[in-house]
């Protein structure tokens, strides 16, 4: 396995490469457990993101960033769940297919979270945007809930996402074709 060296929000990391297919590897960026990168990335993204009332992400890898951006900024965040929990009344759902997940999944918001974001300015965040499928699913969920999307942000833009003008991101992450 190879690695890819990157500097994110002033901090250097070496990301391990993992195969997605027999023709493609990706550099795995995992924020879990990396408090330094999480805090610094949130700080840098907040400098360039539009004003918002709530930050929304999908379970699970975007949670540290979402929390930290809310902690440093608006103080409110919501996580779209990958499964319905007993405390989620009248959940709304959307389908999602991600490059890092083998099968199609669903994302859910319970009635309480949906009501909370209704009419609010929503900033959608994730750790990495690649195909944009996860981001689109969150957009659909927020729209169903009545939230007003004011921006979409990620720490890294990978592959084709690097050319998108509708996403705010800190660094570009290449794909590694074999």
Closest CA to 46 of 14, 69, 67, 27: 69
List of residues 6+ apart from 85 with CB closer than 8 A: 110
DSSP class of residue 127 equals E
Contact 92, 26 (CB under 8 A): no
Q: Please report which confidence band the pLDDT of residue 97 belongs to, taking 50, 70 and 90 as the band edges.
A: low
- CA distances to 4, 52, 80, 100, 164 from 109, rounded to whole Å, are 35, 19, 5, 22, 27
Between 164 and 55, the higher pLDDT residue: 55
- In angstroms, the CA 71 to CA 12 distance is 24
Other Cβ atoms within 10 Å of 135 Cβ, number: 26
Q: Please report which confidence band the pLDDT of residue 163 belongs to, taking 50, 70 and 90 as the band edges.
A: confident
Q: Is pLDDT of 172 > 80?
A: yes
Q: What is the pLDDT of residue 100?
A: 55
Q: What is the pLDDT of residue 98?
A: 60
- In angstroms, the CA 64 to CA 31 distance is 7
**Opening angle at CA 155, ends 152 and 55, nearest 5:** 45
Residues 117-126, mean pLDDT to the nearest whole number: 98
pTM equals 0.92
Q: What is the pLDDT of residue 5?
A: 97
Q: Is pLDDT of 165 > 80?
A: yes
């Amino acid at each position: 396995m190879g690695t890819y060296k990157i500097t994110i929000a002033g901090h250097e990391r070496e990301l391990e490469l993992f195969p997605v297919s027999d023709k493609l590897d990706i550099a795995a960026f995992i924020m879990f457990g990396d408090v330094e990168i999480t805090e610094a990335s949130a700080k840098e993204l907040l400098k360039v993101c539009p004003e918002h009332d709530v930050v929304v992400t999908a379970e699970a890898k975007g949670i540290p960033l979402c929390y930290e951006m809310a902690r440093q900024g608006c103080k409110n965040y919501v996580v779209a769940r990958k499964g319905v929990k007993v405390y989620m009344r009248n959940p709304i759902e959307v389908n999602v297919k991600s490059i890092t997940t083998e099968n199609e999944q669903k994302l859910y918001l319970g009635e309480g979270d949906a009501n909370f974001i209704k009419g609010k300015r929503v900033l959608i965040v994730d750790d990495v945007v690649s195909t944009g499928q996860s981001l689109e699913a969150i957009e659909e969920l927020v729209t169903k809930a009545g939230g007003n999307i004011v921006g979409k942000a990620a720490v890294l833009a990978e592959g084709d996402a690097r050319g998108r003008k509708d996403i705010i991101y800190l660094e570009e992450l290449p794909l590694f074709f074999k």
